[in-house]
Amino acid sequence: MTTLMINKTKYEVELKGHETLLEVLRDKLGLTGTKTSCMESECGACVVNIDKKAILSCITLAKDVEEKEVTTIEGLSDGETLHPAQQAFLDKGAAQCGFCIPGMIMSSNALLEKTHTPTQEEMEYALDGNICRCTGYIKIFEAVREAGQVMKKKGH
Amino acid sequence: MLLNPLEFHKPATLQAAVKLYSELPDARLLAGGTFLLNSLKTMKRRGNKTPSHVISLKHIPDLHGIAVKDEKLFIGSAVVINDLFASSLLTDNFALLRIVCRNISTNPIRNMATVGGNLTSRYTWTELGAALIALKADMHFVGPDLKEEVLSVEDFFANNARTNKILRAISIIKDKKIKSSYQRVKKLSDVDVPLLAVCVTAQFSGNHFKDTRVVINSGTAFAKRDLVLEKFLNESSAHKNLAQEALDHLDTPIYDTRSDDYKKAMFRVGIKNAINELISGREK
């Protein structure tokens, strides 16, 4: 059995060496907020945070993250209260179909953990691995800025 | 199922990793995984045989860390690109690495891809090779006998980037006099498919180029020096038409490996821009 620490919860999971974190999250733990899309590290839909960094779960072996702190989109909210990044994406209308948004929010969260007032350049650097096919990125950047302000106020 | 079954190994020491790597047949090393995992998926999709063992190098403290010791920068092979990018030790001639790191792929990849993986994955588009050859960097390998073998990055790529040892670290000598320019062009601004990478380093003695290195990448199988152009520049002094004149002194067979004329032309533009940037920045 392997112990995985996901969203501050310990999971004892029977893992095979070849299973990716993406497969384990979705198929074994039912955490389907992390999306399966390109499966070859191009699109960013499968981004989770590992030790506060944005990481692609489609090219991460699950056994390799034992003893690491994994956060998925399900781990951001506090009960019924959305995380400021989730709330800001909603308030700013930053999603259309929404499929890329969990990955987009997890990349944003990793950035906002480092700074609450990211510059445009820092946002572009942090989100350059998340592709959205529906919309432009303007509202997404507005949402990240807004979330940073809220996090600063709330002392996140 | 994305991958074929494999046995996963997670050694905690370099000694254990080296032992496993020498004993297990058909084992592949896993550093950041950005190249390996995708290539394993491709092999599976094509019906090719995939390795039975994967040895993760992520949990070996000896392979991590960035430090300056005795005027040399040491970068552990498991250091990820974003950590190198953010390092406060990238000053003087090492600052070139920050520009190179910034240009590698996307943020999640930069959070995962390692310096060692970038150099040893034998992938044509890897970026650090050119800069590290230009900076005269060395690679520190450890083999089954646990003895360290030091090889220049240039020699490593000249030998087609093949090794059966584990890369422990990279080292680069600090040299405040070295000026550098790095030019890179992608196919699309949002997609990291590089058309060319050119790295030029030089020292200046007054107006004269000295100890120049011109290294090209993305157009060749592996990063490679243009010795003809280096010789021309080392015999030249900086003036406003030098970059244009330099284009008549290229080791043309290197560039002819590109199939399209426009790609060959892009290299000439990159080289010209690099030389002009060096000339304008030589007093800084």
Q: What Å distances lie between residue B162 and A10, B42, B151, B166, B262, CA to CA?
A: 41, 21, 12, 11, 31
Structure tokens of B103? Answer: 């240009």
* B178-197 core/surface letters (b: 16 or more CB in 10 A; e: else): bbbbbbbbeeeeeebebbbb
> For an interface test with B, which of A49, A61, A107, A111 has the most B Cβ atoms less than 10 Å from its Cβ?
A61
Q: What is the pLDDT of residue B186?
A: 76
> For an interface test with B, which of A16, A107, A128 has the most B Cβ atoms less than 10 Å from its Cβ?
A128
Q: What is the pLDDT of residue B134?
A: 97
Q: What is the pLDDT along chain A (156 residues), one digit of tens a residue?
A: 999 999 999 999 999 999 999 999 999 999 999 999 999 899 999 999 999 999 999 999 999 999 899 999 999 999 999 999 999 999 999 999 999 999 999 999 999 999 999 999 999 999 999 999 897 899 999 999 999 999 999 888
Residue from B191, B141, B193, B196 nearest B164 by CA: B141
> Is the distance from CB of A128 to CB of B107 less than 8 angstroms?
yes
Residue percentage of chain B with pLDDT more than 90: 75
pLDDT band of B34, cuts 50, 70, 90: very high
Contacts of A20 in chain B (CB under 8 A): 2-3, 37
Taking CB atoms and an 8 Å limit, are B107 and A63 in contact across chains? no
Q: What Å distances lie between residue A118 and A145, B225, B268, CA to CA?
A: 7, 39, 37
pLDDT in tens, B163-200: 999 999 999 999 999 999 999 887 776 666 777 889 99
In B78-107, the residues whose Cβ lies within 8 Å of chain A are 82, 102, 105-107
> For an interface test with A, which of B79, B106, B112, B125 has the most A Cβ atoms less than 10 Å from its Cβ?
B106
- More confident position, B15 or A67: B15
For chain B, the 3-state helix, strand and coil shares in percent, each to the nearest 5, are: 35, 25, 40
Q: What is the pLDDT of residue B255?
A: 82
Taking CB atoms and an 8 Å limit, are A60 and B1 in contact across chains? no
Taking CB atoms and an 8 Å limit, are B105 and A129 in contact across chains? yes
ipTM of the complex: 0.96
pLDDT of B13 over the 90 cut: yes
Q: What is the pLDDT of residue B196?
A: 83
pLDDT in tens, B80-134: 999 999 999 999 999 999 999 998 889 999 999 999 999 998 776 678 999 999 9
Q: Give the chain B residue whose CA is nearest to the CA of A50.
A: B111
CA distance A152 to chain B (A): 23
Instruction: Compute the distance between CA of residue A22 and CA of residue B143 in angstroms, rounded to an integer.
Output: 34
Contacts of A61 in chain B (CB under 8 A): 8, 30, 33, 37, 54, 56
CA distance A124 to chain B (A): 9
Q: Give the chain A residue whose CA is nearest to the CA of B101.
A: A125
Q: What is the pLDDT of residue B258?
A: 66
CA distance B104 to chain A (A): 11
pLDDT band of B253, cuts 50, 70, 90: confident
Q: How far apart are the first and last CA of chain B?
A: 55
pTM value?
Answer: 0.94
Residue keyed to tokens 């990820």: B80
pLDDT band of B7, cuts 50, 70, 90: very high
pLDDT of B223 over the 80 cut: yes
Q: Give the chain B residue whose CA is nearest to the CA of A124.
A: B107
Region B131-138 average pLDDT: 97
Region B62-70 average pLDDT: 96
Instruction: Please give the mean pLDDT across all residues of chain B.
Output: 92
Q: What are A's interface residues with B at a Cβ cutoff of 8 A?
A: 16-20, 22-23, 39-41, 44, 47, 53-56, 58-61, 63-64, 66, 107, 125-129, 131
Taking CB atoms and an 8 Å limit, are A128 and B190 in contact across chains? yes
pLDDT band of B217, cuts 50, 70, 90: confident
Instruction: Compute the distance between CA of residue B44 and CA of residue B56 in angstroms, rounded to an integer.
Output: 20
Instruction: Compute the distance between CA of residue A124 and CA of residue A137 in angstroms, rounded to an integer.
Output: 9
